[in-house]
């Protein structure tokens, strides 16, 4: 009976994790990892220690990168330090205006930062769009990891 409850809670964590990749209110990959841990604590499925550690490292790395990928997008689209700083400020301010602030914040921050640094509007827009592409890339990577966790979860249950 306890195993069934853990499996159901684990699956709900995985679904919440997948939703959290898009909804910034939920921590997507950490929630999905919690679902994997819940399945591991059942008597039906046991993951190896190596798997659990590698997955944890992936979750931590992806969570940290998720905050820096928009900065990298702004930088590699021709942005200056002004745009990078603006992108960081926009990301932090955007956290207070969920859910749209987390998407629009980096774009506007990079755009305004570039304008404040004396760049032309065209260059500032390029930097802003670079930060938006970086955000979308980070979201995609989180979705891939959560999708992988769901695949492993279902596969482990079917094989058990």
Listing DSSP states for 44-95 in one string gives: S----HHHHHHHHHHHHHHHHHHHHHHHHHHHHTT--HHHHHHHHHHHHHHT
Q: Mean pLDDT over residues 118-130, rounded?
A: 83
pLDDT above 90 (res 100): no
pLDDT-based confidence at residue 60 (cuts at 50, 70, 90): very high
Q: Mean pLDDT over residues 79-99, rounded?
A: 79
pLDDT above 90 (res 141): yes
Lowest average pLDDT, out of 14-18, 59-63, 101-105, 139-143, goes to: 101-105
Q: What is the pLDDT of residue 2?
A: 85
Spatial contact of 145 and 29, defined as CB atoms under 8 Å apart: yes
pLDDT-based confidence at residue 86 (cuts at 50, 70, 90): confident
> pTM, whole model, 2 decimals?
0.78
pLDDT above 90 (res 56): yes
Q: Mean pLDDT over residues 109-136, rounded?
A: 84
CA distances from 159 to 55, 146, 156 (A): 20, 20, 5
Mean pLDDT of the chain: 87
* % of the chain residues with pLDDT over 70: 99
């Amino acid at each position: 009976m306890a195993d069934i409850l853990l499996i159901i809670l684990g699956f709900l964590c995985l679904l919440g994790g997948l939703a959290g990749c898009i909804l910034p209110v939920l921590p997507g990959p950490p929630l999905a990892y919690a679902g994997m841990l819940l399945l591991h604590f059942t008597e039906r499925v046991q993951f190896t220690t190596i798997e659990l550690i590698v997955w944890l490292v992936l979750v931590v790395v992806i969570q940290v990168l998720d905050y820096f990928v928009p900065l990298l997008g702004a930088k590699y689209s021709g942005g200056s330090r002004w745009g990078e700083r603006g992108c960081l400020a926009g990301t932090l301010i955007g956290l207070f205006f969920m859910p749209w602030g987390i998407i629009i914040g980096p774009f506007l921050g990079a755009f305004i930062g570039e304008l404040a640094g004396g760049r032309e509007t065209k260059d500032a827009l390029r930097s802003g769009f670079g930060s938006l592409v970086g955000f979308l890339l980070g979201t995609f990577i989180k979705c891939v990891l959560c999708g992988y966790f769901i695949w492993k979860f279902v596969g482990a249950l079917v094989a058990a």
